[in-house]
Structure 1
Amino acid sequence: MKILIFALVNLVSSFFIEGKLGLNVDYAVFRHSDQQSYLEIFYSVQKSKLTYEFRNGKYNISLFFRLDVVNLDKDSLIISKGWKIETGFPDTVGAAGQDVVDVLRFYVPAGRYKVVMKGIDLFNTQNYDSVAFDVNVPTFVKGDKLLISSLEFCYSIERSTDTNDAFYKNSFRVVPNPTATFGQNVPVLYYYFELYNIFSGVGGDKFVITVNVLDNYQQKVQEVREKRFVRGKVYDSAVEVGTVNVFNLPTGIYYLDVVVSDIEDKILVGNRRKFFIFNPSVTPRVDTSKVIAQVYSLAEGELDDEFSKASYIATQEEKDLYKKLRGIEAKRRFLGTFWARRGGIEFRAQYLQRVKEADEKFTTKYEPGWKTDRGRVYIVYGPPDEVERYPYAENMKPYEIWHYYSLQGGVIFVFGDRRGFGRFELLHSTLVGEIKDENWMYLLMER
């Protein structure tokens, strides 16, 4: 058995690129003690993307996963875990849109972490996936300030006494939704969060929790009624669960906004988290006619090319949906809605102009400019405010440092020609959400 597990670890470790398993991974952080926090990592794979073997009257699946968590502050691997999931289903009817969901829990000190999770379908080893992201784990220390945990999005939450259930948490059965996607197949958003230091952090005997849904422009969504709850100070910490009906929201990006205030409406603490709606049957609130008129003259291949170039700003749900579209009319309507949600014809013109400029500036004999790392950054964030260029120097390969002074108070992007073929790769950035490697210079040293 040890030899088998070791072989599986080596197999799953070799996959570093995105596959087709449909792996989604998310996390939430809660209080454990003043020294440690409670890190939950939850993940899912789509049943419709798995390979089944029929035996013993069931449709069986076999998956192997690997999780690595690195403490970035100490540059040390603190969690390395591999495991199998094997189970069977009576049939595959309704598998599309359904997920296999699981949760992992760890106690960790406050700090910065890198989470890398990989999965492979053992019945089809070409079916694999990999997800990596950074996690900032705060401390929830006792004190006179009210604190709030992560907001956790869930498929369902119900009362439970089964402490052996993997999804049991604080007298509830909490089934997380790692995709953070709701709408057509998941019409109700369930949420879970915790509050700490209520006795010392709230003046008076009561406090108020207000829950709203915001659109992508951070404005309240009128289709969802604001929820307001008055709570008494019963315990020093509290668990809050609730639901939001999102079945009537059009496809798009939204935010769940939670604000906790005292009885006099003084804000004490709050949290906000992004989620996605996929509702193709609901008419968008934006005017798509002008953009559709612009794309109406494009052939189907030109529509495909334009959306491919727009993929840098598309959600995964939009990418998946576009792949399913059949016929030029459906693609015209989709692309019209896509651009209208992001600013209409003016935004489309600016974006495509940047694509053209990226092709002119960064095209190599290996790939067009818009597909390069420099091209992507140029298209998404615009021209840099300043560029430092460092051609070949002693023991160093060429690199560039791009400065953006208005992004997050000032950020940099570092591109380097690691292989010496004029192909500059993104090695490091200080912008949240981009690749970060403080040791990027070592990658450029001649050996």
Structure 2
Amino acid sequence: MFWLMLLAVAPGAPAQQRLPPPPAAPTQPSASRDVAIGAVRSYRGDRTLINGFVRVPHELLDAVTIGAGGFAEFRLDVGVVDARGTVLATDRWTRRVPWTATRARGAASVEMVTFTVDSGAYEIRASVKDSASGRQSAATLPVQGFRARPPASDLLLAPEIRRATPGDTVAGPGELRKGDLLITAASDVALSPTQAALFYYCEVYRDSAGDVPWAVRVRGGEGKTIVTTPPAASAIPAGGGVITGSVDLAGLPPGSYQLELVIGAGADSLVRSARFRMAGFEVEQELAQQQQATVATGDVFSQMTEAKLDTLFAPLFYLAPLSELNVYRGLTLEGKRRFLREFWRQRDPTPGTPDNELQQSFYQRLGEANRRFREGGAAEIPGWRTDRGRIFILHGEPDEIMRRPVNGQSNPWEAWKYTQNRALKYVFYDQTRLGNFQLVYTDDRKEKGMPGWERLVGQDAVDEIARF
């Protein structure tokens, strides 16, 4: 990562040169294959400090050399332009990317720029040239300098924020330092079911010290609030301070969302917001193929593409803790193959035979869960990510099922019972009447029900489930 300091840029600064307008590119790219620029503004003295992030997707790059030690390479040109089109500052640098990284689905480099400006309108321009093919891609982002001190900075979202410790005070590759916090840079924050923690950072400016109340909420694509955190308060010293934290969004369906930080209370409150994505796993087709094929003798991972390896890795959080899985994302293609071989080798119930029955049944159940338990609505949640799908994958077909459809004012529910190895009972309730069943009660200590579920289903249903 490169840290470019373009400080004290002002509208009246002498022009260094004029850049030709960049090739047409959307200000907010609609696809992950576009070069993208993100920026957040904060206040320093009487100027606006802008932290910019340029995302360069590796899909845009061709290999300079292939194989062991192979790499791709790109040149990045960055400029800051005022409202008159005058280039106030420019810089360029070259970045080399390992060839294996260019083959990973969704992989990208994030380059950082930092500059300060006076009040006024500006534009960040970024142009990327692939060294192997000569192809060029570009993006622009308009930014506005504050006219006066704002009550708060822009909201910065990140996949990780950590606090510096003695001996670990220098920002690493891809990290931005804010005070004693080290923030992982991202122009477009995308979470996943296995990496669902979203971190946020916002500066609050005020003349006097005091406790400032705040809360976080998450809105879906239609503006509906779907997550709200309990109210909190931060002690903000005179001059200003920071509100930072994280929210666990595990279980959020794939899609685009907005996190809002509500600062203050009542008429004095203000909102800072930023968008993020929850990525899903395109598993249905891959798992259907896996379901049709049995695990044959030999190395089933040796010829798989990285995209297919990632697909087979995605649901493994049902079987293993994140502490075991976190290493996977940073591995090379061959490293991912070794990880999956070892993962299933350790769980093979019959290591002396050519078949791994657990691996085979796991992916067969995943395919069946996708076929039977996909849930409706705008989210289109694949079956393996639903509550019923999860229980089916972990325990197989229930020994008994009790189903109750919509009946007047009563919503549908169903109860599953397992009686073989250990007696277990699960109750799923559909509050939407759209086929979206949520686990509300179970006697399985590894699963969580819903407090007060009896009020949802009604006493008659509770009695019926108890007799089941």
TM-score normalised to structure 1 length: 0.51
Superposed CA deviations along residues 37-86 of structure 1, whole A, max 9, x for unmatched, are 101111112234432334895332321122232221xx142434232232
Matched, 1:251 2:258: no
2:231 alignment counterpart:
228
Cα distance change of structure 1 residues 52 and 12 upon mapping to structure 2, 3 Å threshold: farther
Task: Tell me if structure 1 keeps the 8 A contact 2:258–2:274.
Answer: yes
Residue 194 of structure 1 aligns to a residue whose secondary structure is strand
Paired residues, number: 267
Task: Tell me if structure 1 keeps the 8 A contact 2:76–2:92.
Answer: yes
Amino acid at match of 1:259: V
- The structural deviation recorded for 1:21 is 5.6
Amino acid at match of 1:134: P
Task: Tell me if structure 2 keeps the 8 A contact 1:97–1:185.
Answer: no
Matched, 1:189 2:207: no
Structure 2: how far apart are the matches of 1:61 and 1:12?
26
- The structural deviation recorded for 1:232 is 2.1
Cα distance change of structure 1 residues 258 and 20 upon mapping to structure 2, 3 Å threshold: closer
Instruction: Give the one of 138, 145, 152 matched to 2:146.
Output: 138
- The structural deviation recorded for 1:154 is 1.4
Matched, 1:273 2:277: no
Structure 1: how far apart are the matches of 2:281 and 2:100?
27
Residue 184 of structure 2 aligns to a residue whose secondary structure is strand
Residue 43 of structure 1 aligns to a residue whose secondary structure is strand
Cα distance change of structure 1 residues 90 and 132 upon mapping to structure 2, 3 Å threshold: closer
Matched, 1:71 2:79: no
TM-score normalised to structure 2 length: 0.49
- The structural deviation recorded for 1:266 is 5.2
After the TM superposition, which residues 73-152 of structure 1 pair with which residues of structure 2 at under 5 Å, given as runs?
A: 75-89=84-98, 91-92=100-101, 95-126=104-135, 128-141=136-149, 147-152=151-156
Amino acid at match of 2:163: R
1:39 alignment counterpart:
50
- The structural deviation recorded for 1:207 is 1.9
Task: Tell me if structure 2 keeps the 8 A contact 1:13–1:118.
Answer: no
1:177 alignment counterpart:
186
Task: Tell me if structure 1 keeps the 8 A contact 2:59–2:102.
Answer: no
Cα distance change of structure 1 residues 91 and 37 upon mapping to structure 2, 3 Å threshold: same
- The structural deviation recorded for 1:88 is 4.4
- The structural deviation recorded for 1:103 is 1.0
Task: Tell me if structure 2 keeps the 8 A contact 1:249–1:277.
Answer: yes
Instruction: Give the one of 182, 207, 210 matched to 2:212.
Output: 207
Structure 2: how far apart are the matches of 1:180 and 1:164?
19
Amino acid at match of 2:152: I
Residue 208 of structure 2 aligns to a residue whose secondary structure is helix
Superposed CA deviations along residues 91-128 of structure 1, whole A, max 9, x for unmatched, are 449722232112100010111122222112112223x3
Task: Tell me if structure 2 keeps the 8 A contact 1:68–1:115.
Answer: yes
Structure 2: how far apart are the matches of 1:54 and 1:10?
35
Task: Tell me if structure 2 keeps the 8 A contact 1:162–1:168.
Answer: no
Residue 242 of structure 1 aligns to a residue whose secondary structure is strand
Task: Tell me if structure 2 keeps the 8 A contact 1:30–1:194.
Answer: yes
Task: Tell me if structure 1 keeps the 8 A contact 2:22–2:125.
Answer: no
Instruction: Give the one of 214, 218, 222 matched to 2:223.
Output: 218
Identity of aligned pairs, percent? 15
Task: Tell me if structure 2 keeps the 8 A contact 1:113–1:135.
Answer: yes
5+ unaligned residues in a row in structure 1: which ranges?
1-8, 284-329, 342-447
Amino acid at match of 1:272: S
Matched, 1:156 2:157: no
- The structural deviation recorded for 1:185 is 7.1
Residue 199 of structure 1 aligns to a residue whose secondary structure is coil
Superposed CA deviations along residues 121-152 of structure 1, whole A, max 9, x for unmatched, are 112223x32112322222452xxxx7110111
Task: Tell me if structure 2 keeps the 8 A contact 1:249–1:279.
Answer: no
Matched, 1:61 2:72: yes
Instruction: Give the one of 36, 42, 46 matched to 1:30.
Output: 42
Structure 2: how far apart are the matches of 1:27 and 1:157?
17
Cα distance change of structure 1 residues 250 and 198 upon mapping to structure 2, 3 Å threshold: farther
Superposed CA deviations along residues 278-305 of structure 1, whole A, max 9, x for unmatched, are 325799xxxxxxxxxxxxxxxxxxxxxx
